[in-house]
Amino acid sequence: MVIEWTSIGTFRNDAADRAAREAREGFPRPLVQEEKAQGRAKAPEARVEPRSSDTAADNAMDRYASGEDAAFSDLYDLLAPRLFAFVLRATRNRSEAEDLVQQTMLKMHCARGRFIRGAGVVPWAFSIARRLVIDRARRSKVRGNANDIGDPSEVLAHLAALDLAADEVVHAKLLGKIIQAEIERLSPNNRLAFELVKQDGLTHAEAAKVMGTTVMAVKLRTHRSCAALRAALHKSLDARDA
């Protein structure tokens, strides 16, 4: 199954880093403890400031909406990779994902005149992409069966570049599999909240806009997802230690 490789990559190799640290310290640390150690314990509150790429994307969209046609290229550069990662996770098919990113950007182009000055373009773009993914899934009634999302050797090469011991790499792969399997088991809403916040880097408020719900609901769903992942990791690591 190829998705694990992408997931490890999407997690920005946190799993590998964590595995290496755990190997040094001799025990696994829960994710919350991990976040505290990295000064990310107050992540929801700390992330109210928009990312610089978000601000740049907002500016690009604002310029494009105002009639500056050349700004579309900048907008594409800032949004397309993030949208592609989001859509690819849902479709697991590169060509479908590219098609959906293209449709998303085209729909943004068609509605540019109605873009509200000062509004955030990232949640809007993600909400359009999400809708297109849902529409396509409804039409095909098959969720991700193509699995042509990439070459696992790329992630292996990345892990190798981290200069980890072979058992650490294996451990990182195992953690990636466990995490991915647990993500698959989450309810659709919990999974989406987790993916938008933890993997796509949206703030809770932005994710709430994409999902059409409240910030509190997104926080709750993200928390539940993290708790489920933590429990799964603990369980499997305990089993391994035993």
Q: Which residues sit at the interface with other proteins, rule CB under 8 A?
A: 6, 9-10, 65-67, 72-73, 76-77, 80-81, 84-85, 88, 94, 97-98, 101-102, 105-120, 123-124, 127-128, 130-131, 149-151, 154, 208-214, 217
- Nearest approach in angstroms of CB 60 to other proteins is 14
- Nearest approach in angstroms of CB 64 to other proteins is 8
What is the C-alpha separation between 159 and 176, in angstroms, rounded? 12
- Nearest approach in angstroms of CB 24 to other proteins is 28
Q: Which is nearer to other proteins, 28 or 176 (CB)?
A: 176
Q: Which is nearer to other proteins, 82 or 173 (CB)?
A: 82
Q: Which is nearer to other proteins, 69 or 238 (CB)?
A: 69
Q: Which is nearer to other proteins, 66 or 187 (CB)?
A: 66
φ/ψ bin of 146: left (φ > 0), alpha (ψ from -120 to 50), beta (otherwise): alpha
Q: Which is nearer to other proteins, 103 or 237 (CB)?
A: 103
Q: Which is nearer to other proteins, 24 or 139 (CB)?
A: 139
Q: Are 5 and 150 in contact (CB under 8 A)?
A: yes
* DSSP letter assigned to residue 115: P
- Nearest approach in angstroms of CB 107 to other proteins is 4
Q: Which residue has the tokens 């800032």?
A: 78
- Nearest approach in angstroms of CB 228 to other proteins is 24
Burial degree of 4 (CB within 10 A; 0-12, 13-18, 19+): buried
Give counts: helices (H), strands (E), the chain: 13, 0
Q: How far, in Å, are 90, 162, 180, 192, 197 from residue 100 at the CA level? A: 11, 33, 23, 17, 21
Nearest residue to 69 via CA among 59, 77, 61 = 61
- Nearest approach in angstroms of CB 231 to other proteins is 28
